[in-house]
Amino acid sequence: MQQTHKFITYGSVTSPRGFTASGIAAGLKYSGKPDMGLIFSEVPAKVSGAFTTCVFAAAPVQVCKQRVLENESARAVIINSGNANACTGNPGLDAAHEMCSYTAEKLGIRAEDVLVSSTGRIGVQLPMDTIKSGIDKAVAARSSEGGNDLAQAIMTTDTVPKSAAVEVELSNGKVTIGAAVKGSGMIDPYMQVPHATMLCYITTDAGLEKKQLDDMLYSGINQSFNRITIDGDMSTNDTTIIMANGVSGVQVQDKDAAVFSAALQALMQQLAREMVIDGEGATKFVEVNISNAATEADARCLAEAIGNSLLCKTAWFGNDPNWGRLVAALGYSGVKFDPDLVDVCYDDMPVVSKGGDAGTPEEELAEVLKKSDFKVNVNMNAGSAGYWIWTCDISYEYVKINAEYHT
């Protein structure tokens, strides 16, 4: 398929027409940094969402999940960082609903048209006076240039804000897709439609039906956010929301669906990659690629065993080509296979051949691991199925960040 999209320099959630956003400091973070954000659509926007499968789903996740199931459209998303509003019981649910209703009151829209997200420390009740004051500021500050402010306001341990946008050429005109994402730790999402934290907000001025949004979001997530792991820990608050307001006047027709979906996937993959690169304390971006497994389920299980292995991840940090850790992860993955058939390469350099040492000098393998971006390619020689994930190393800094973390 010919590429029909291009990335926009400094793109954000306000790159699509008809959206405004803001990011302000409400006082939830001890640091005084921005900690509340708002996304607003001038007109009702078709909405879809995907959420954590963690049983301890946070209050805002529970509220959003219900609203996305029950409603075809939404107008706004109110977001706070510095407090996850997770494991907070009925008071937390009341607070999430109050965030929606108070935001709606200030915007002059219905409460059910507002979605809500939170990220930060788990188990702490929201200070609603501070939250309401922040909502006042966020509503007043929203603008068509506010997308990058929003991206800053939703950060926790992220070191950089993450925003992007693409312009897409369809058969009947151009549309734009914008997005903001946060997350650098507690990252191993498995989100379903509709069903430190990963939060993503996607906006588009294209016209789509809700079923189209559901299908495209699920497809995009399974090729992006559900393929990344930083530390193997799924959050209570993982959320992805997409809003399509149709302000461009361009409807995504059936013949354009593949083009639009490809652009959406490219945008999501770009932000997923940025999340892994900005992983807490990360120094290496690693693609784990399993090929020729018996089934895709096997391939995924094998890839995730390597990607979540602390021994593999610390070896990568130390530039240590210790492939014994890697084959051990394959071995305990739960997948049944013949170990005497397995081949492994770091990039294109042989590491394991037929289950044993490939004979490449260790110093040559170490040179591959010194790179900031490399691949672990595993050929199971057991079938034709494959699966890839993106992950990173674990450094001293990761331990420091998470040992000392408080909002």
Q: Domain ranges for the chain, please list them.
A: 5-277, 285-404
Q: Is the pLDDT of residue 11 over 80?
A: yes
**233: confidence class by pLDDT, cuts 50, 70, 90:** low
* Residue among 45, 118, 46, 110 at smallest CA distance from 78: 118
For residue 69, with 0-12 CB atoms within 10 Å meaning exposed, 13-18 middle and 19 or more buried, which class applies? exposed
The three-state (H, E, C) secondary structure of 72-101, written as one string: CEEEEEEEEECECCCCCHHHHHHHHHHHHH
Q: Model confidence over 272-329: pLDDT tens digits?
A: 999 899 888 899 999 999 999 999 999 999 999 999 999 999 999 999 999 999 999 9
In this predicted structure, what is the pLDDT of residue 330?
98
Are 143 and 102 contacting, i.e. CB atoms less than 8 angstroms apart?
no
Q: Model confidence over 115-161: pLDDT tens digits?
A: 999 998 899 999 999 999 999 999 999 999 999 999 999 998 888 99
Interval 98-126 mean pLDDT: 96
What the block records as the tokens of 36 is 């509340």
* Residue among 67, 80, 66, 1 at smallest CA distance from 38: 80
**235: confidence class by pLDDT, cuts 50, 70, 90:** confident
Among the options 119, 156, 197, 203, which is catalytic? 197
Are 372 and 283 contacting, i.e. CB atoms less than 8 angstroms apart?
yes
For residue 120, with 0-12 CB atoms within 10 Å meaning exposed, 13-18 middle and 19 or more buried, which class applies? buried
| Domain 5-277: which CATH number of 3.40.50.1370, 3.60.70.12, 3.30.9.80, 3.10.129.10 | 3.60.70.12
Are 178 and 147 contacting, i.e. CB atoms less than 8 angstroms apart?
yes
In this predicted structure, what is the pLDDT of residue 405?
58
- Please tell me the pTM assigned to this model: 0.92
* CA triple 105-107-113, angle to 5 deg: 80
Residue 355 to residue 342: CA distance in whole angstroms? 5
For residue 55, with 0-12 CB atoms within 10 Å meaning exposed, 13-18 middle and 19 or more buried, which class applies? exposed
Tell how far CA 265 is from the center of its chain: 12
HSE toward the beta carbon, residue 122, CA cutoff 13 A: 12
In this predicted structure, what is the pLDDT of residue 299?
98
Residue 118 to residue 72: CA distance in whole angstroms? 22
Lowest average pLDDT, out of 42-51, 88-97, 190-199, goes to 190-199
Secondary-structure class of domain 285-404 per CATH: alpha beta
Residue 264 to residue 177: CA distance in whole angstroms? 7
Outline where DSSP puts E strands in 217-325.
Answer: 239-244, 285-293
Q: Is the pLDDT of residue 183 over 80?
A: no
The helix/strand/coil state of 204 is strand
Residue 98 to residue 82: CA distance in whole angstroms? 18
Are 131 and 79 contacting, i.e. CB atoms less than 8 angstroms apart?
no
Whether 197 is catalytic is yes
* Residue among 43, 3, 39 at smallest CA distance from 23: 39
